[in-house]
């Protein structure tokens, strides 16, 4: 197929460079400089897809980001991308694309039968129809709807492309590289500010790329080239094309998606960054984002071949394509007349101009009259015909104010309808920046009003619709932005003579009635083409009681598509205003949210993938664990050995073996991840006294104490042991996951509440590796490693520490215990961790030393009834709830949390309290998190009396054990409690939480 | 993303900071002297200010200092920041747009 719809000459395409591409399996040829949309139009292809709900044939409507219809599935395999607008895909050699939302083909689509049921598929259809019965959702409705209503398909394999992020600080950021944006960048650049100019298109120039204009002595292309040459020569000006500012956040923080290789053939993309997200902080932002043309809402305004007038002009002038050869123009303003002039000049035929205004006048209207083109003034299109392409329109004389037109209908044959309902400034980024919009009656559009951020607006966004205004407004905005950031702008250049037609007025015309009232009969007046929302849907929504624009949006789906309603929002609003009989500004607008156009997850993730998605912290002994088959558990960012299975062992086998080794011999644990904070200063003891619930002032040097930390509300938030290294120095340990939070907490109180205390905190977690040996033979093992050290209980009692040499390494040895067995926690400099571990393993061989992980650690401590913060506590648990009154000082006048223990709520008797549970069947291990009830036969919903916090099989005890928080549990020991599970109810007895060695006799070996 | 002026480090992205809630709520000197209502007032009750609001921030991924900020909760305008113990800057009369 050859390009029958190319113009004879012109356009910014390179006719010498043919490009082969494939659409829906058919091969075509386009030219370099084409978009997929322009190349398809050049080949006469208008039918690109099917609509969302009714599966009506749809074609290309626009030429840029506002395109609502022509979404395609681009590429194949891992790099395929769904729902990309054909109007924004630069054509490249070998491009393949398919229609979305068609099945089996775009030409013959089975779901188009939906169109026959269109009467029932109105606003809220999905909400109303598929409410009940619930089971039908899973089996029938959802799969069917998903296939019928889905757009493109997400790739099923990982994204192989490379993405990255860059950060940039500039004084002036300019968004939009049209005439206003170029002038703004020039003004700020000449003032020597650091400037960033971004534009979503492959070429700078914006609307000038689509229009012929003489600017002074230059034509538009020479003018753009000269502007770019000057900007490129400025060292502090950065120009980014193919770069969309998609999000405008607080304090002038903007995100820009730069598409670096999407326009290249696959072979040229290899090894390059595909897309880059720029994070920009700007002193001032100049928004010059232009305007989008609005469609007109008339009966069956959705057929392929019905396009925006300015887009037709773009295809003709920029791409050298005739979107049709027999055009009807339907407009309510005279800017659109230029399209007729340009299409005719390029060889097209203008059948008629249908102008809703009774007396159109002005320079462009006269120019068209001079071309002998028929102008039907005071007329409207009231219907269209055509299957996969528009074939004719029906026009009638407008009867002002009437809901039904009875005037005579006339049929006009055509293959292209260009429509223009006026212009909507692209206020998206301005709105994202929290700026307020104001409705301009004369220009019939919303314009930026009160701004919230340090910014300027210019060009069509500011309602400056002529080139002359754009150039002047752009320069002023750039100069103002430079001045506001401390630069002195150069004198404004003299305004060039510009050859452009004078513009007449616009008469808003929001919805066109026909021979029958809107919503009656088969005709559809589409407002949102992507979501198939019609004017009748909006009327229905109002009849059903919706009035707020935000509710109407959600009920009718207007503006909810991937195009975010760029062509539909204002029409929907205006139609709503008409139905409610409220002025447009009173109806209000919906919220514009980022992203302006869709952004792929790959780009957002950048390089933060896989191993780089989050920092991984490992101990100095980690490699040994890996080599010895440990399975790992994530604790915060740390990798901790979970357990060390031997060949053929199940997880439970391994846990049983590890736990029994600790109880009967000696086990070894890598405890390096515990948080460690060095606390120094003359007031350190006083500080600990206020932070912990127990007393610290009198703790002897070289002594260790266990402490609980609570928030002011009395709830436990961390625990650990703290050793007194010297009169003015302590070493605090925290939970592995809580270390950063505890340090924050300490520093917060030192800085904000008690700045008079002379205390300094330093995290030393990664300065000390810790190897914990535990079990009845731990003493004998340590004796081998530190023969000089006096390990007698008199010299080295429980809860004390010594400094000495262990396996040739200077060490601190702490006598603490989380297993209930004799335990030495040997701390050595981080870099010596592995050497110590290996020495311990070698010396321990004769004791059959067994490395164990966090899971066995959890079982061993549960056997002893020791809590784990975050498992037995959940932020609503007091020390008293845990049965730990013994650690709450009665003597200290004040400490954090103390006052709250007397609050009526914390003093309640029926608070959830920590208890042990023994299941009736000893092998039954309760699921952690299981809810507990006192009456297994109570009617549902049963009163929940608590939940299981920890639950294990204990090899030591030869049965299961569990810890639980139970309402009033401390007083309920001996009572039965039930865990109703999905398939059975488990019975258990409430017992003391200490299951093993209640007297603590094993602590000394 | 807010651009927050740390009194020690200067302006930095919000991601370097941690929010600390309403400022100038001192821990009572003698909590035991407060009745339950007064204690609950200190523990739980915070202003839900629409407009200029004094709040605490921690430069946790920076100098690790706590400081105060006056921020307009409607516009996110930051009037100024000041160290703990310093007097707050004068509040603007009304919440205006950016200059
Ligand atoms: Zn700082």
Please name each of the domains of chain B with its CATH number: 1-27+40-99 (3.30.2270.10)
A281 at the B interface (CB within 8 A)?
yes
**In which band, very low, low, confident or very high, does the pLDDT at A144 lie, cut at 50, 70 and 90?**
low
CA distances from A330 to A164, A294, A309, A353, A377 (A): 45, 12, 8, 6, 10
Q: What is the mean pLDDT of residues A614-622?
A: 96
Output the CA B65–ligand 1 centroid distance in Å: 6
Residues 6 or more apart in contact with residue A820 via CB below 8 angstroms: A860, A861, A863, A864, A996, A997, A1000, A1002, A1003
Query: Measured between alpha carbons, how far is A974 from A427 in angstroms, rounded to an integer?
Result: 69
Query: Measured between alpha carbons, how far is A95 from A81 in angstroms, rounded to an integer?
Result: 12
CB contact under 8 A, B58 and A902: no
Residue to mutate among B28, B29, B66, B72, with most A CBs inside 10 A, is: B66
Q: Write down the pLDDT at residue A142.
A: 57
Quick one: A284 and A429 in the same domain? yes
Q: Write down the pLDDT at residue A529.
A: 94
Identify all chain B residues contacting A907, using CB atoms and an 8 Å cutoff: none
CB contact under 8 A, A250 and B1: yes
A253 at the B interface (CB within 8 A)?
yes
Quick one: A492 and A346 in the same domain? no
Q: End of a domain among A386, A401, A421?
A: A421
Q: Write down the pLDDT at residue A564.
A: 86
Apex A275 CA angle, A274 and A278, nearest 5: 150
Tell whether A973 is covered by a domain. Answer: yes
Q: Does pLDDT of A1 surpass 80?
A: no
Q: Write down the pLDDT at residue B98.
A: 36
CB contact under 8 A, B85 and A893: no
Average per-residue pLDDT in chain A?
Answer: 94
Quick one: A25 and A147 in the same domain? yes
For A451, which of B20, B64, B98 is closest by C-beta distance?
B98
Q: Write down the pLDDT at residue A577.
A: 94
| A534 three-class SS | strand
Q: What is the mean pLDDT of residues A101-123?
A: 67
Tell whether A33 is covered by a domain. Answer: yes
Quick one: A237 and A381 in the same domain? no
Q: Does pLDDT of A771 surpass 70?
A: yes
Q: Write down the pLDDT at residue A50.
A: 87
Quick one: A55 and A18 in the same domain? yes
Which two tokens mark A142?
């959802």
Q: What are A461-495's pLDDT values in tens digits?
A: 999 999 999 999 999 999 999 999 999 999 988 88
Q: Does pLDDT of A177 surpass 70?
A: yes
Quick one: A218 and A272 in the same domain? yes
Q: Write down the pLDDT at residue A725.
A: 97
Q: End of a domain among A525, A553, A587?
A: A587
**In which band, very low, low, confident or very high, does the pLDDT at B96 lie, cut at 50, 70 and 90?**
very low
- Which residues in B have their CB inside 8 Å of a CB on A? 1-3, 13-14, 18, 20, 26-27, 30-32, 34, 36, 39-40, 42-43, 56, 58, 60, 64-66, 75-78, 84-85, 97-99
Tell whether A534 is covered by a domain. Answer: yes
Q: Does pLDDT of A137 surpass 90?
A: no
**In which band, very low, low, confident or very high, does the pLDDT at A100 lie, cut at 50, 70 and 90?**
confident
For A899, which of B2, B34, B58 is closest by C-beta distance?
B34
Q: What CATH code is carried by the domain that includes residue A951? A: 2.40.30.110
Spatial contact of A816 and A823, defined as CB atoms under 8 Å apart: yes
Radius of gyration of chain B (CA): 15
Instruction: Please tell me the total count of domains within chain A.
Output: 5
Quick one: A404 and A330 in the same domain? yes
Q: What are A277-329's pLDDT values in tens digits?
A: 999 999 999 999 999 999 999 999 999 999 999 999 999 999 999 999 999 99
Q: What are A252-277's pLDDT values in tens digits?
A: 999 999 999 999 999 999 999 999 99
Q: What CATH code is carried by the domain that includes residue A326? A: 3.50.50.60
Quick one: A8 and A144 in the same domain? yes
Q: Write down the pLDDT at residue B89.
A: 87
Q: What CATH code is carried by the domain that includes residue A563? A: 1.10.10.1100
Output the CA B63–ligand 1 centroid distance in Å: 4
Query: Measured between alpha carbons, how far is A818 from A808 in angstroms, rounded to an integer?
Result: 26
Q: What are A640-690's pLDDT values in tens digits?
A: 999 999 999 999 999 999 999 999 999 999 999 999 999 999 999 999 999
Q: End of a domain among A103, A126, A156?
A: A156
Q: What CATH code is carried by the domain that includes residue A150? A: 3.10.20.440
Q: What is the mean pLDDT of residues A786-812?
A: 97
Identify all chain A residues contacting B32, using CB atoms and an 8 Å cutoff: 893-894, 898-899
- Domain residues for the domain of A527 are 509-587
Tell whether A129 is covered by a domain. Answer: yes
Tell whether A394 is covered by a domain. Answer: yes
**In which band, very low, low, confident or very high, does the pLDDT at A146 lie, cut at 50, 70 and 90?**
low
Tell whether A990 is covered by a domain. Answer: yes
For B31, which of A450, A744, A899 is closest by C-beta distance?
A899
**In which band, very low, low, confident or very high, does the pLDDT at B99 lie, cut at 50, 70 and 90?**
very low
Report the percent of chain A where pLDDT is more than 90: 87
Query: Measured between alpha carbons, how far is B74 from B65 in angstroms, rounded to an integer?
Result: 26
Helices (H), chain B: 36-44
Tell whether A732 is covered by a domain. Answer: no
Q: Write down the pLDDT at residue A107.
A: 76
Q: What is the ipTM of this complex?
A: 0.94
Average per-residue pLDDT in chain B?
Answer: 91
Tell whether A832 is covered by a domain. Answer: no
What is the pTM (predicted TM-score) of this model? 0.91
Identify all chain A residues contacting B66, using CB atoms and an 8 Å cutoff: 747-748, 751-752
Q: Which of A494, A493, A536 is nearest to A514 (CA)?
A: A536
Q: Write down the pLDDT at residue A910.
A: 94
Neighbours of B89 (CB within 10 A): 13
- Which residue has better confidence, A92 or A503? A92
For chain B, what percentages of helix, strand and coil (3-state, to nearest 5) are there?
15, 35, 50
Report the percent of chain A where pLDDT is more than 70: 96
DSSP lists the bridge partners of residue A704 as A723
**In which band, very low, low, confident or very high, does the pLDDT at B95 lie, cut at 50, 70 and 90?**
very low
Min Cα distance A739 → chain B (Å) is 14
Quick one: A493 and A566 in the same domain? no
């Amino acid at each position: 197929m050859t390009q029958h719809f190319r113009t004879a000459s012109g356009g910014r395409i390179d006719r010498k460079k043919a490009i082969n591409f494939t659409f829906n399996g058919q091969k075509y040829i386009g030219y370099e400089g084409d978009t997929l949309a322009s190349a398809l139009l050049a080949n006469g292809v208008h039918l690109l897809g099917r609509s969302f709900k009714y599966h009506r044939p749809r074609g290309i409507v626009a030429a840029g980001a506002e395109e609502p219809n022509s979404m395609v599935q681009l590429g194949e395999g891992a790099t395929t991308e769904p729902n990309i607008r054909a109007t924004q895909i630069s054509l490249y050699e070998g491009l393949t694309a398919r229609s979305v939302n068609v099945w089996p083909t775009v030409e013959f689509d089975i779901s188009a039968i939906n169109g026959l049921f269109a009467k029932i598929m109105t606003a809220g259809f999905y909400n109303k129809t598929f409410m009940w019965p619930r089971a039908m959702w899973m089996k029938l409705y959802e799969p069917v709807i998903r296939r019928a209503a889905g757009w493109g398909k997400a790739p099923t394999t990982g994204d192989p492309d490379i993405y990255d992020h860059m950060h940039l600080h500039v004084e002036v950021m300019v968004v939009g590289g049209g005439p206003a944006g170029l002038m703004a960048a020039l003004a700020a650049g000449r003032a020597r500010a650091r400037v960033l100019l971004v534009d979503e298109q492959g070429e700078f120039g914006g609307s000038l790329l689509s229009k012929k204009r003489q600017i002074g002595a230059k034509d538009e292309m020479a003018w753009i080239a000269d502007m770019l040459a000057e900007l490129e020569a400025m060292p502090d000006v950065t120009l980014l094309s193919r770069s969309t500012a998609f999000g405008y956040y607080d304090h002038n923080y903007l995100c820009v998606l730069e598409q670096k290789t999407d326009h290249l053939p696959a072979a040229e993309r290899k090894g390059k960054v595909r897309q880059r997200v720029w994070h920009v902080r700007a002193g001032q932002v100049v928004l010059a984002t232009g305007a989008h043309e609005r469609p007109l809402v008339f009966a069956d305004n959705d057929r392929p071949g019905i396009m925006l007038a300015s887009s037709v002009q773009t295809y003709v002038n920029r791409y050298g394509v005739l979107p049709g050869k027999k055009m009807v123009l339907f407009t309510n303003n005279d800017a659109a007349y230029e399209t007729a002039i340009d299409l005719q000049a390029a060889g097209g035929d203008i059948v008629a101009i249908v102008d809703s205004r009774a007396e159109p006048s002005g320079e462009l209207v006269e120019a068209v009259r001079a071309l002998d083109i028929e102008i039907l003034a005071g007329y409207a299109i009231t219907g269209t015909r055509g299957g996969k392409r528009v074939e004719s329109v029906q026009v009638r004389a407008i009867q002002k104010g009437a809901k039904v037109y009875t005037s005579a209908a006339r049929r006009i044959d055509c293959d292209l309808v260009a429509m223009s309902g006026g212009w909507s400034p692209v206020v998206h980024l301005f709105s994202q920046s929290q700026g307020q919009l104001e409705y301009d009656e004369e220009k019939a559009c919303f314009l930026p009003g009160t701004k919230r951020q340090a910014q300027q607006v210019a060009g069509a966004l500011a309602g400056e619709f002529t080139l002359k205004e754009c150039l002047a407004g752009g320069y002023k905005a750039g100069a103002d932005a430079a001045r506001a950031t401390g630069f002195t702008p150069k004198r404004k250049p003299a305004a060039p003579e510009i050859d452009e037609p004078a513009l007449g007025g616009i008469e808003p015309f929001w919805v066109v009635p026909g021979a029958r009232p809107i919503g009656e009969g088969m005709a559809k007046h589409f407002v949102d083409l992507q979501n198939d929302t019609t004017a009748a849907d909006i009327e229905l929504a109002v009849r059903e009681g919706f009035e707020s624009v935000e509710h109407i949006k959600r009920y009718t789906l207007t503006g909810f598509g991937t195009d975010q309603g760029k062509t539909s929002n204002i029409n929907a609003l205006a139609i709503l205003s008409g139905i409610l009989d409220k002025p447009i500004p009173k109806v209000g607008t919906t919220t514009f949210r980022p992203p302006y156009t869709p952004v792929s997850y790959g780009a957002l993730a950048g390089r933060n993938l896989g191993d780089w998605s989050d920092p991984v912290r490992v101990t100095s002994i980690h490699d040994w664990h890996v080599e010895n088959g440990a399975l790992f558990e994530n604790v915060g960012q740390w990798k901790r050995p979970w357990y060390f299975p031997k060949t053929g062992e199940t997880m439970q086998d391994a846990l049983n073996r590890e736990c029994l080794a600790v109880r009967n011999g000696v086990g070894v644990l890598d405890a390096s991840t515990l948080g460690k904070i060095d606390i120094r200063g003359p007031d350190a003891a006083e500080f600990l006294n206020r932070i912990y619930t127990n007393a610290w002032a009198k703790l002897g040097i070289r002594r260790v104490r266990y402490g609980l930390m609570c928030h002011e509300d009395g709830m436990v938030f961390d625990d650990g042991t703290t050793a007194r290294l010297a009169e003015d120095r302590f070493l605090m340990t925290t939970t592995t996951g809580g270390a950063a939070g505890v340090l924050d907490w300490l520093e917060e109180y030192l800085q904000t509440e008690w700045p008079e205390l002379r205390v300094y905190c330093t995290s030393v977690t990664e300065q000390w590796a810790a190897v914990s040996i535990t079990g009845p033979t731990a003493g004998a093992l340590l004796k081998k490693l530190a023969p000089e050290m006096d390990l007698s209980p008199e010299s080295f009692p429980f809860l004390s520490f010594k400094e000495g040499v262990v396996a040739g390494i200077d060490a601190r040895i702490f006598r603490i215990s989380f297993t209930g067995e004799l335990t030495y926690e040997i701390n050595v400099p981080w870099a010596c961790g592995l050497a110590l571990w290996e020495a311990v393993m070698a010396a321990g061989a004769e004791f059959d030393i067994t490395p164990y992980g966090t899971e066995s650690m959890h079982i061993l401590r549960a056997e002893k009834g020791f809590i784990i913060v975050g498992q037995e506590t959940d932020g609503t648990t007091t020390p008293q709830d845990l049965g730990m009154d013994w650690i709450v000082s009665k003597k200290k006048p004040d400490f954090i949390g103390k006052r709250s223990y007397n609050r009526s709520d914390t003093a309640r008797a029926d608070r959830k309290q920590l208890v042990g549970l023994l299941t009736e069947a000893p092998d039954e291990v309760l699921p952690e998190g299981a809810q507990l009830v006192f009456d297994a036969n109570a009617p549902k919903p049963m009163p929940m009396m608590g939940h299981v916090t920890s639950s294990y099989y204990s090899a030591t005890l030869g049965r299961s054990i569990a810890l639980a928080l139970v309402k009033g549990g401390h007083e309920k020991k001996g009572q039965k409690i039930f865990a109703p599970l999905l398939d059975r109810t488990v019975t258990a007895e409430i017992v003391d939480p200490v299951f093993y060695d209640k007297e603590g006799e094993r602590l000394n070996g | 993303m807010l651009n927050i002026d740390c009194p020690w480090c200067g302006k930095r992205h919000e991601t370097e900071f941690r929010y600390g809630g309403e400022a100038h709520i001192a821990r009572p000197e003698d909590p035991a002297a407060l009745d339950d209502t007064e204690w609950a007032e200190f523990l739980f009750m915070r202003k839900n200010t629409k407009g200029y609001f004094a709040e605490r921030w921690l430069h946790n991924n920076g100098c690790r200092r706590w400081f105060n900020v006056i921020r307009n909760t409607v516009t996110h305008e930051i009037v100024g920041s000041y160290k703990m113990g310093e007097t707050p800057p004068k509040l603007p009369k009304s919440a205006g747009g950016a200059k």
